[in-house]
Structure 1
């Protein structure tokens, strides 16, 4: 179960610019998430959030810096793809980024806003045959990756990163 952190509304002038992301609350231990705005600056802030939360969850492990950097890079690649290829990159779009820790794996998941409006082709995440592209890099940085969803709906792309 998830919910968002509720804060009292403020006027735009008192609040300043809209937040780059909003933290989600989960009852499941080891799971954290955020809703991310539709810009690359929001994705950069989310990438830092992923790196910080991953480092915190590893409790000062010698490999915390390496693993948190890998998780941040995977999150960036997944967010960048979603912003480029889905409705998440439109002015009213958003992404959901989730981290789930288990004993041996960290799962980084990004849920997009679905396909662009008025598209004739429903595409699914796939690696390029020539070995280039973000999903090929995700494969190199993780144990495995996969996607869930249906044509015409939001998709979640996830990757497992091995923990020490």
Structure 2
């Protein structure tokens, strides 16, 4: 019984160690028909409805060339101006979720095979996890309480 009382605060401390819980990520797919169509979804398959979309031309990277929102299916379309060659930037933003794509355009038009996603993962974690300091304080507090409790019994 005494061993159980000593192990209990240790087990509670281990349970209180912070862990990150993956919630979901954002994925964007594209298709070129008469326009470049993007569809953005969470990794769960749910569309990113009403996300803000900003398209930046290579000749003016500080001012959006086009602004819009994704539809109910998480889709939006645009056709870059072929006379503005270079890397067009597409930003998709909604409530902390984001995706960034680069769309290269040359004299022939969109280079579909060279469209790339910014190397970043849109991963969100549960905010309910405790920090290491909080876990240590909880473990120390529980351990001290049990130590005082056991000492009084003896």
Q: Which has the higher strand share?
A: 2
TM range (shorter): under 0.3
TM-score (norm 2): 0.26
Structure ID, larger Rg: 2
| Highest RCO, 1 vs 2 (Cα 8 Å, sep ≥ 6) | 2
